[in-house]
Amino acid sequence: MTNQSKSDQLPPAYALETLAVRAGTERSQFNEHSEAIFLTSSFVFNNAAQAAARFIGEEPGNIYARFTNPTVTMFEQRLAVLEGAEQCIATSSGMSAILACCMGLLKSGDHIVASRSVFGATINLFNNIFKKFGVATTFVSATDVSEWVAAVRPTTKLFFLETPSNPLTEISDIAAIAAISKRHGVLLAVDNCFCTPILQRPLELGADIIIHSATKYLDGQGRVLGGAVLGSKKIVEPVYQFLRTAGPTMSAFNAWVFLKGMETLKIRMDAHSAHALAVATWLEAQPNVTRVYYPGLPSHPQHALAMRQQQTGGGIVSFEVKGGREAAWRVIDNTRLVSITANLGDTKTTLTHPSTTTHARITPEARAAAGITEGLLRIAVGLEAVSDIQNDLARGL
Ligand SMILES: *Cc1c(COP(=O)(O)O)cnc(C)c1O
């Protein structure tokens, strides 16, 4: 799967920020400094024998961009090094990473146990699409480990979680859930989109698989969609076989955008976290704010676990305002700076009302049970000055 050209491979002993800038870079015969974008759908062979050797996998090298592309390979190698994974496979989006993971590793009759607090499209995929193909899912608490134990069946093959969760920033104890998965011979997949490897390294905590929506912090500037599946060679190989056959692969252009994005990942995650902590602390002191959800605050019920498992609290803060939907919408409609959009992981601060946007399609009862009230707002804190973000929110508060 790897490209054999002149390589800039670094030993993983370098610090994460060094690896984020340099790992995975491979130069062509032109010795370009910045990574090249290989906009080609196929690759030529020197002769018939080489073509044959490539196709049967006897000789490594590129064949066709649905299988591999050198720019995409650089992205995969860089992210693999950052996550401490043996193998990484890039996909066209975060959702296609989850799809490829499950299509590669599961079959009809298998069972998934998933956190109830995962991304909405993930719930849809498991509930409405996989169910049609005979893969059932049991949804359990993100935080109550005993529910994971109780949900295991003889057919359970996969545990799936996301931590911190969206929008309430619940923290799942990766090491504790990994211990249960190991005991039952189940694979644990962690969607590491909110933290990125800069803040949280799930494989070191016992997870088997990491899922990324690269669309968020890995890009960091809201430009392109992409995703990734990481794990051991043994786990990723069937996922790669699905991907090269079915085709939701990452484009070379998008891989290049992610390579550039990852070079600033460490300083961005540090700044997102510092800004989010400042905004969350300020929100806690506002008279019309009744509750703030942020893992970096000592008031967060799982603050100790979060600080053990993550480097910082990350960039996402949710808060509840007095006065329900009307008051929440007033905050949104009085902003002049922050973007009213459900996306996250961007240098630009984004603000959304989960109960009428990201979580609008679930029943009011399910929303209430999940704690997503009408007064709840989610802010993905960007890199603007904290004072400007605070002033923008203050207007509607
Ligand atoms: C956005 C998101 C996804 C889906 O990623 P896409 O790139 O939009 O397909 C999956 N998980 C989490 C946690 C996300 O925030």
Check if 3-262 and 265-396 are the same fold. Answer: no
Q: What's the CA-to-centroid distance between 380 and ligand 1, angstroms?
A: 14
User: Where does ligand 1 bind, in terms of residues with CB under 6 Å?
Assistant: 93-95, 119, 121, 162, 166, 191, 193, 213, 215-216, 225, 227
Q: What's the CA-to-centroid distance between 216 and ligand 1, angstroms?
A: 7
Among 193, 219, 251, name the best residue to mutate to test ligand 1's pocket (greatest count of ligand atoms within 8 A of Cβ).
Answer: 193
Atom of ligand 1 nearest to the CA of 225: 7
Residue 2 confidence class, pLDDT cut points 50, 70, 90: very low
Q: What is this structure's pTM?
A: 0.95
Domains in the chain: boundaries: 3-262, 265-396
Q: What's the CA-to-centroid distance between 95 and ligand 1, angstroms?
A: 6
Among 129, 216, 346, name the best residue to mutate to test ligand 1's pocket (greatest count of ligand atoms within 8 A of Cβ).
Answer: 216
Nearest to 188 by CA among 167, 171, 170, 174: 174
Residue 368 confidence class, pLDDT cut points 50, 70, 90: confident
Angle, helices 70-83 vs 252-263, to 10°: value is 40
Residue 364 confidence class, pLDDT cut points 50, 70, 90: confident
Q: pLDDT tens, 219-234?
A: 999 999 999 999 999 9
Q: What's the CA-to-centroid distance between 193 and ligand 1, angstroms?
A: 7
CA 321 to chain CA mean position, Å: 28
Please tell us whether the domain made up of 3-262 is placed in CATH 3.40.50.10860.
Answer: no
Q: 319 and 377 in contact (C-beta within 8 Å)?
A: yes
In the predicted structure, residue 12 carries a pLDDT above the cut 80: no
Tokens of 125: 């995929």
Which is the CATH superfamily of the domain at 265-396?
A: Aspartate Aminotransferase, domain 1 (3.90.1150.10)
Q: What mean pLDDT is predicted for residues 129-147?
A: 97
Question: What's residue 6's pLDDT?
Answer: 40
Per cent of the chain over pLDDT 90 is 93
Tokens of 269: 């995650």
In the predicted structure, residue 246 carries a pLDDT above the cut 60: yes
